[in-house]
Amino acid sequence: MELAGKKLLFSRPLLQRPEIDGRTYGPLRPVHAGVLGFSPSGKTLAIGGRFSSVFLFDVFKKRVRYVLPLHAEQGGANALAFSPNGKRLLVAGLWNVSGASFDQIHLFSTCNGHRIWHWNNKSDDPSAYDTSALYTSAAFSSDGRRFAVANNNSLVIRDARTTRFLLMRRSEETKPPSLATQKQLFPVLVVR
């Protein structure tokens, strides 16, 4: 939407075939966007939600540039973030397999649409996994050297180049952590 003239510039439904590991199945179905994010330049809009891919939409050409596949027959992206230079996209989401839910994190190149790195916590014992702990937030540091994903009881910070852990904090409480617990979990994250 153009803010000055308050007029709609473009509207288009998104459709997708279900996709697993690069193979498509079944008929086209409508995509309902759950998370959106503009690149720093404003030229690209990332569109994610409860479907098996993230779309990189070229705002000026009014077309999808890349379809970034997630490992998700069901599930999809809960959060996404562009790196400060716009060359990478961080996606945190959910992967449903046989009724069990797992976290997944992907790092994509926005230049060519290729997946740079991915991680999931798929376990041999789905009953041991707490489905309330799915990642719901994602962010890059302002210099692009680190990225973070978080949920209501944990925070993970990784090096953006090597993807190695820099910090991992987790609360064992099942309810939202108290202020005292938060101070114990995040002693290095003091706001001044």
The answer to whether domain 15-185 has CATH 3.30.9.10 is: no
Residue 154, pLDDT > 90, answer: no
Residue 63: the pLDDT is 85
Q: Model-level pTM?
A: 0.75
* Contact present, 90 and 77 (Cβ < 8 Å): no
pLDDT (tens digit, 9 = 90+) per residue, 86-109? 999 999 988 776 666 778 899 999
- Higher pLDDT among residues 115 and 129, named by residue: 115
d(C-alpha 183, C-alpha 177), whole Å: 10
HSE of 53 in the Cβ direction (CA atoms, 13 Å)? 25
pLDDT (tens digit, 9 = 90+) per residue, 54-96? 989 998 888 889 989 887 566 788 999 999 999 999 999 887 7
140-148: list long-range contacts, CB under 8 Å, 24+ apart.
Answer: 140/81, 140/82, 140/83, 140/84, 140/88, 140/90, 142/84, 143/84, 144/83, 144/84, 144/85, 144/88, 147/81, 147/83, 147/90, 147/107
Domain borders along the chain are 15-185
